[in-house]
Structure 1
Amino acid sequence: MTATLTRRTVRRRALIAAFAAGATLLTSGFVTGPTAAPKVAAAPDIPLANLTGHLNQFQSIATANGGNRAHGRPGYRASLDYVKAKLDAAGYTTSIRTFTSGGRAGYNLIADWPGGDPNQVIMAGAHLDSVTAGAGINDNATGSAAVLETALAVSRAQFRPTKHLRFAWWGAEELGLVGSRNYVNGLSAADRTRIKGYLNLDMVGSPNPGYFVYDDDPVIEQTFKGYFAGLGVPTEIETEGDGRSDHAPFKNVGIPVGGLFTGAGYVKSAAQAAKWGGTSGVAFDRCYHRACDTTANVSTTALDRNSDALAHTLWTLSS
């Protein structure tokens, strides 16, 4: 009972902080009146056990398929089939979008939650592929699991937001954002204007984590920051991977974007270790793009916090 009450208190504070800190831009599509406070449904807690269950499944898939889940390899398609089956059972309308890269077929998975204004779409996505060197559990089974479990939480809650919700898992990100670029390039001008925000999660469980927020759309940024402020967790602006993940094709065509990141190959400074804990002088993820990026290479605390931050932000922006 105490833990539940504490969670609710933290979420309430996070909501207050998010709206107190955030400026609203008309171009973002997130318009609030100057005097009326919006009513926002509280997002549910994202269960850590469910998140780690997904990571274990992705690890098992990689182990059974040559040790990786890379583009054009059987482990990638098995990963996609696993995610799709979960979403189909939860009531989503799913579609597989095919493209070609390097002479191999690639696949994006798109899932739409029924209802909401189709002219106001909020998306969340993550790349599902690994590099060929390993299973890619932090990079990026963590982001894929966070997006999947948030989508499943929408179904469990039978959430009925004002805006339409869409989720995506991208292929061939490791080859240069191929899947997400293919999706965005295939959108009509009208379809692009309907997407009012895209939230990207790429590496959100680094074992020596930082808490980085994309500084792109101000409303999305402040909503994420407000959540972490409610937890008492300081954040920094994400710079290590700026433009190197799947938000970039959306941003390049004027769609508002934001996202979360816990660090890759850069070294954590002494100041960052003092702020977040962990070890200074060591990379945020020493196994970045290596065979040791397994389920042993994940901070479950960081994964839990970032997944809850995604749910909070998705609920807030789509309500």
Structure 2
Amino acid sequence: MRRLGVALAVLLVLATAPSAGAVDREWLADRIAAGDDESVAHLAALDGIAAANGGNRATGTPGYDASVRYFTDQLRAAGYQVTYQDVPYHGFRADVERLTAPDGSAVRILMSQYAPSTPEGGITAPLFALGAADDATPGCEAADFPPDVRGAVALVRTGGCTTPDKARAAGAAGAAALVLHDVSPAPWAVLRLRAPDSAIPVGHVTQLVAEELAGQAGRPVTVDLRGHDEYGTTVNVFAETAGGAADNVVMVGAHLDSAPEGPGVNDNGSSAAAVLQAALRLAPYQQVVPNKVRFAFWGAEELINVGSHHYVDSLTPEEIRDIALYLNFEMLASGNYAHFVMDGDDSEHPDTGGPGAPPGSGAVEGVMTQGYRVQHAPVLSADFATMPSDSEAFIAAGVPSGGAHGGIRGIKTPEEAAIFGGTAGQFYDPCYHQPCDDLAHINRDAMRQSAGAVAWAVGRFAVYAADVRAESGR
């Protein structure tokens, strides 16, 4: 019966869609963006998957495999053929994470990825807390550390330079280990960062823990951090329309894996759910769309965009030229959200001076912005640097790119709070890479508006992407 229903829907579309000579570029966008929102139901499914699989859906875990099965079942039931691409990855798994404070209490600590391990049983040494003036962030150079740090466990705040920079500086100054902490509006949160090539063990604690430890400086602490590199193979998941021009592909993607520290309902279940909803709504029209639409659910993004880079690297130059544009989405349901559309006129990366948005991305931005306006939702423009994600591989390949995010690791400004509501001075998503990144902490209005905007943009580009081609010159 399902196949008969899809066939009847296709016949109805053929009878009612505008003719080839018509100018209406938005007829399909308006159809698939309207109606009840189903995206939260998909988020509830991902939340349940994480709860049943150790609290996360990270690459290389049963939670990710179950997420792949859920998306596969949804797409196949809608009439898509689902394909997979194997993706080799190099990850890191922490085996032991212990910090015993001078007062004997055990406090939570996360081991930096790819940092060296302590000996079994850990390192016991005096705690040295590196202070900072209000206008300075120390620990980026070995000269920032006094001689007292030699042989000690150094407690240093983040900022001013990267985690590897801090690790190298502390190691060069003679520290036995490094413990880092943020100073942030979420003093109870802790992020696991990376410290490749560090000569000493590195861990991360919350600001609250760091403040308690600093009061016990000079006394011995024990840091026991042990982990190992992990090599494996995960998958990217693809579904594409049966119809549409194969040399004019509209790609739409979001990563499906979570960070190991949480369920990943906002990061990035929210975006994967929005893309899935767009795919399901487009399914009855997939035989008649002028442009082929390819949906991608990336693996190993949390290992720094591994799945998307692997995919783009696997394409021939001709296959890359066949991609008219790429849309990418991140964290669309942040609890303290703002809607950001990626700036298609960002011709230079503001941090590196490298390439920003390729030509054609301005047209992508215009359509994505209109998608939010159709939802009666305000929207702001943001540089691609605010969304370091799977769009990077496509940008590097010269593919016009765009998309949206709901606020990532940033702090909401008073101006943004006046537009979107919420709380100025707080993170867009206080649960970023935390155990609380679950269904209870998303913003459902943001999810509904963004899912509608994603579907609208997909429907528009499925019918018409010639403006992107013309602007890009590809």
The equivalent position to 2:458 in structure 1, one of 311, 314, 317, is: 314
Over 3 Å counting, the alpha-carbon distance change for 1:195 and 1:146 in structure 2 is: same
1:168 aligned onto 2:296: yes
Over 3 Å counting, the alpha-carbon distance change for 1:156 and 1:111 in structure 2 is: same
The equivalent position to 2:407 in structure 1, one of 260, 263, 270, is: 263
Over 3 Å counting, the alpha-carbon distance change for 1:252 and 1:146 in structure 2 is: same
Distance 1:193 1:158 in 2: 22
Please name the residue that 2:427 is paired with.
283
1:155 deviation in Å?
A: 1.5
Query: TM-score, normalised to structure 1's length?
Result: 0.85
Moved more, 218-227 or 145-154: 218-227
Letter of the 2:325 counterpart: G
Over 3 Å counting, the alpha-carbon distance change for 1:213 and 1:169 in structure 2 is: same
Contact kept in structure 2, 1:46 and 1:153, CA below 8 Å = no
Distance 1:240 1:182 in 2: 20
Flag structure 1 segments of 5+ consecutive residues without an equivalent: 1-32
Distance 2:233 2:36 in 1: 33
1:231 deviation in Å?
A: 4.3
Deviations 1:41-60, CA, capped at 9 Å, x for gaps: 12323655521111111111
Distance 1:39 1:233 in 2: 21
Q: How large is the Cα RMSD of the aligned pairs? A: 1.8
Deviations 1:17-42, CA, capped at 9 Å, x for gaps: xxxxxxxxxxxxxxxx9xx8444312
Distance 2:342 2:38 in 1: 26
Moved more, 282-291 or 223-232: 223-232
1:316 deviation in Å?
A: 1.1
Aligned-partner SS, 1:191: helix
Please name the residue that 1:70 is paired with.
58
Please name the residue that 2:270 is paired with.
142
The equivalent position to 1:178 in structure 2, one of 303, 306, 311, is: 306
Distance 2:406 2:366 in 1: 17
Please name the residue that 2:439 is paired with.
295
Contact kept in structure 2, 1:264 and 1:286, CA below 8 Å = no
Counting only pairs closer than 5 Å after superposition, residues 4-153 of structure 1 correspond to structure 2 as: 37-41=23-27, 42-45=30-33, 49-102=37-90, 103-153=231-281
1:240 deviation in Å?
A: 7.5
**Whose strand proportion is higher, 1 or 2?**
2
Deviations 1:111-137, CA, capped at 9 Å, x for gaps: 111011111000111000000001000
Letter of the 1:95 counterpart: T
Letter of the 2:84 counterpart: I
**Rg bigger for which structure?**
2
Query: TM-score, normalised to structure 2's length?
Result: 0.58
Please name the residue that 2:326 is paired with.
198
Moved more, 149-158 or 160-169: 149-158
Identity %: 35
Deviations 1:183-233, CA, capped at 9 Å, x for gaps: 000011111000001111111001111010011301110111123334443
1:64 deviation in Å?
A: 1.0
Distance 1:173 1:48 in 2: 30
Aligned-partner SS, 1:118: strand
Please name the residue that 2:198 is paired with.
none
Distance 2:374 2:61 in 1: 42
1:212 aligned onto 2:200: no
Flag structure 2 segments of 5+ consecutive residues without an equivalent: 1-20, 91-230, 345-360, 464-474
